[in-house]
């Protein structure tokens, strides 16, 4: 009852449908895996527990994404589930088995290649039942593949960015034996939370920033999961395509760990409170400030290089919609493209080098930028 071994790096991109980024605009050649966010678990479907069947625009989106496999046969399209876990995951073995059977049938019906579990987050009291749930799903996937002669569906997981949450939530031996890959969500280490996180900080640093907890970085989080026994080839490093923003208590103090009174104002392009998508950051109204104390780039290539150097399975991206979808800054998908180029040596071996060029070559190694309102 093992997950499938990974022979080449994964670039798994979460996709959220939005008005400005419909499924028809998703490129077939950018990511190795597309993960649709989100479907919903139900405990009372027409055939019992399962996945809520899509209707209308959601059903159309699933079909559009899976149709991309016509032009890129290597592409895998998964469905991510985030809501409804407590209604199915529990001590009732038959309910979990029914979920697995019905979920597999729905995934096959829509030509999806697997399921991603993004439960945020199981508690310590859920740990044993969640492990059993994963074993049941893996067993059902293997049994269905043996009966039908089709490739087994993929099973993936989104993993907590907090090590204490992770220790409570996951049976790591079970994760290692049941999932095909799992993405450590190495972002949102800092975001404004009233009375809890009220100072500025890096959203997703590669290495831990002085003054932060030990595990507040992508490298430390990935190493934690490796130390718990998750095979490196199954672990993806989660990378965001956005930054967090704050309303400063004192506008003249815009350094790290500066006091904040709230989330930042909506960005000029995407209009999200407390979040700056890539196209927001390149618009006018901000000043670029060099931070010479850090050794990384303002693009995610170094994270990908680090992941490859550690023998990880690849990277997971949250999300395609927050990259520069429309080329507002000059080129479409600059961040995800830089990730792909960092992984290109192995992807060329796999035959997925489509010639998409990296549009951020003018950014210099060793330089970090932070945006401050003027």
Q: Helix/strand/coil (H, E, C) string of 292-315?
A: CCCCCCCCCHHHHHHHHHCCCCEE
pLDDT digits (tens, 9 = 90+) for 232-260: 999 999 999 999 999 999 999 999 999 99
Q: Which domain holds residue 39?
A: 10-241+293-349
Backbone angles phi, psi at 134, to 5 degrees: -65, -40
Q: Could you give the percent of the chain with pLDDT greater than 70?
A: 85
The pLDDT assigned to 321 comes to 97
Task: Answer whether residue 365 is part of any domain.
Answer: no
Task: Answer whether residue 123 is part of any domain.
Answer: yes
116-122-99-229 Cα dihedral, nearest 10 degrees: 60
Task: Answer whether residue 366 is part of any domain.
Answer: no
pLDDT-based confidence at 293, cuts 50/70/90? very low
DSSP codes, 194-225: TTTB-B---SS-SSPPTTS-TT-SHHHHHHHH
The pLDDT assigned to 308 comes to 72
The pLDDT assigned to 107 comes to 99
What total of structural domains would you count in the chain? 1
The pLDDT assigned to 118 comes to 99
The answer to which of 154-168, 170-184, 228-242, 356-370 has the lowest mean pLDDT is: 356-370
The neighbouring-strand residues paired with 239 are 317
| Alpha-carbon separation of residue 227 from 163, 170, 231, 235, 251 (angstroms) | 11, 14, 9, 12, 41
The answer to which of 1-5, 67-71, 163-167, 366-370 has the lowest mean pLDDT is: 366-370
Residue 319 near residue 326 (C-beta atoms within 8 A): no
The pLDDT assigned to 359 comes to 31
**Three-class DSSP category at 236:** strand
Task: Answer whether residue 18 is part of any domain.
Answer: yes
Provide mean pLDDT across the span 153-179: 98
Q: What is the DSSP letter of 116?
A: E
The pLDDT assigned to 146 comes to 98
Provide mean pLDDT across the span 307-325: 92
Higher pLDDT, 216 or 371: 216
pLDDT of 297 > 70? The answer is no
User: What is the CB neighbour count within 10 angstroms for residue 311?
Assistant: 11
pLDDT-based confidence at 352, cuts 50/70/90? very low
| Alpha-carbon separation of residue 196 from 186, 192, 235, 237 (angstroms) | 19, 8, 30, 26
pLDDT of 148 > 50? The answer is yes
pLDDT digits (tens, 9 = 90+) for 119-144: 999 999 999 999 999 999 999 999 99
pLDDT of 41 > 50? The answer is yes
pLDDT of 300 > 50? The answer is yes
Q: Could you give the percent of the chain with pLDDT greater than 90?
A: 77
Task: Answer whether residue 107 is part of any domain.
Answer: yes
Provide mean pLDDT across the span 136-160: 99
Provide mean pLDDT across the span 277-293: 69
Alpha-carbon distance of 229 to 216, in angstroms, equals 20
The answer to which of 56-70, 315-329, 340-354 has the lowest mean pLDDT is: 340-354
Alpha-carbon distance of 271 to 324, in angstroms, equals 14
Alpha-carbon distance of 33 to 28, in angstroms, equals 10
The pLDDT assigned to 370 comes to 42
pLDDT-based confidence at 286, cuts 50/70/90? low
Task: Answer whether residue 191 is part of any domain.
Answer: yes
pLDDT digits (tens, 9 = 90+) for 58-107: 999 999 999 999 999 999 999 999 999 999 999 999 999 999 999 999 99
**Three-class DSSP category at 243:** strand
The pLDDT assigned to 198 comes to 95
Task: Answer whether residue 360 is part of any domain.
Answer: no
The neighbouring-strand residues paired with 81 are 39, 117
* 210 contact partners, CB below 8 Å, separation of at least 6: none
The CATH number of residue 57's host domain is 3.20.20.80
Provide mean pLDDT across the span 301-327: 87
The pLDDT assigned to 291 comes to 57
Alpha-carbon distance of 129 to 122, in angstroms, equals 10
338-339-341-342 Cα dihedral, nearest 10 degrees: 120
pLDDT of 21 > 70? The answer is yes
| Alpha-carbon separation of residue 264 from 243, 244, 289, 328 (angstroms) | 11, 8, 18, 21
Task: Answer whether residue 279 is part of any domain.
Answer: no
């Amino acid at each position: 009852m093992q997950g499938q071994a990974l022979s080449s790096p994964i670039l798994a991109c979460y996709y959220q449908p939005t008005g400005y980024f419909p499924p028809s605009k998703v490129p077939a050649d950018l990511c190795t895996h597309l993960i649709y966010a989100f479907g919903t678990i139900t405990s009372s479907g027409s055939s019992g527990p399962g996945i809520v069947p899509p209707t209308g625009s959601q059903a159309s989106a699933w079909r559009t994404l899976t149709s991309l496999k016509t032009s890129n046969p290597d592409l895998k399209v998964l469905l991510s589930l985030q809501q409804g876990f407590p209604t199915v995951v529990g001590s009732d073995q038959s309910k979990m088995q029914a979920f697995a059977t019905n979920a597999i049938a729905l995934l096959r019906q829509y030509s999806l290649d697997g399921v991603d579990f993004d439960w945020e987050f199981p508690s310590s009291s859920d740990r044993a039942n969640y492990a059993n749930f994963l074993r049941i799903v893996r067993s059902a996937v293997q049994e269905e593949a043996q009966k039908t002669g089709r490739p087994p569906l993929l099973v993936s997981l989104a993993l907590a960015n907090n090590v204490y949450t992770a220790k409570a939530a996951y049976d790591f031996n079970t994760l290692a034996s049941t999932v095909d890959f799992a993405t450590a969500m190495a972002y949102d280490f800092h975001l404004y939370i009233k009375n809890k996180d009220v100072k500025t900080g890096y959203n997703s640093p590669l290495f831990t920033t002085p003054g932060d907890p030990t595990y507040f970085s992508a490298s430390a989080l990935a190493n934690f999961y490796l130390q718990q026994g998750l095979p490196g080839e199954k672990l993806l490093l989660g990378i965001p395509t956005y930054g967090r923003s704050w309303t400063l208590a004192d506008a003249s103090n815009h350094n790290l760990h500066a006091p904040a009174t709230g989330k930042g104002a909506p960005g000029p392009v995407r209009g999200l409170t407390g979040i700056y998508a890539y196209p927001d950051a390149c618009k006018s109204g901000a000043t670029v400030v060099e931070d010479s104390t850090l050794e990384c780039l303002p693009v995610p290539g170094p994270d990908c290089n680090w992941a490859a150097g550690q023998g990880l399975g690849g990277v997971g991206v949250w999300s395609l919609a927050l990259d520069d979808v429309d080329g507002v800054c000059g080129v479409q998908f600059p961040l995800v493209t830089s990730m792909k180029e960092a992984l290109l040596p192995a992807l060329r071996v796999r035959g997925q080098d489509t010639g998409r060029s990296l549009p951020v070559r003018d950014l210099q190694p060793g330089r970090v930028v932070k945006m401050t309102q003027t």
